[in-house]
Amino acid sequence: MSAMATARATQGRPPMGRARIDTDLQQDIEQFLYFEAELLDDRRYRGWYNLLAGDIRYWMPTRSNRLSREMDKEVGAPGEVAHFDEDKASLGVRVRQLETGMHWAEDPPSRTRHLVTNVRVSPSDVEAEWAVRSNFLCYRNRMDTEVDIWAGERTDTLRVNVEHGFTVAARRILLDQNVILSKNLSVFF
């Protein structure tokens, strides 16, 4: 069977092992993620903070190079050292620091561009929540010559919210690089 015939034959069916997701829901979630990126790039941190659930866990585990037989140890586990392991209160402190305009690592402020792609949505075990995986590229330029580029994957739990459409109830940020050469990690992912 040709690739075109296979595509026609499988059209409308979800990929193997995945539940069907309504296209309107997929688009709503993608638009939410794009809006979130816009808030960060426009330095509207309070607006971004308001998209976070009160019980959020914002976590960026460390990553290390491992032999093939030890790939299960490549990513840090919960409770181990992490780049970020924050809740809403600690994220609020970071947002307030940025709002003062006197955050030493962000004065002058960074210019960022968050690109979100390959958004995959799955039902969660909890009603009114969605498991969302996406790839990201975050570009930062600061001062005249400081440039940082981070690439990776985010695994989010999005919760339905009447006011914003969704809130971010959990986020795991997994960078592709294991050694971060940036002077700081003062941006949000």
Domain spans of the chain, in order of start: 21-175
Contact predicate 165/140, CB 8 Å:
no
pLDDT in tens, the chain (189 residues): 444 443 334 444 455 556 788 999 999 999 999 999 999 999 999 999 999 999 999 999 999 888 899 888 888 999 999 999 999 999 999 999 999 988 888 888 999 999 999 999 999 999 999 999 999 999 999 988 999 999 999 999 999 998 879 999 999 999 999 899 999 999 999
pLDDT at position 18: 60
Question: Residue 97 and residue 158: Cα distance in Å, rounded?
Answer: 26
Task: Count CB-CB contacts under 10 A for residue 10.
Answer: 11
CATH of domain 21-175: 3.10.450.50
pTM value is 0.86
pLDDT at position 163: 85
Contact predicate 79/107, CB 8 Å:
no
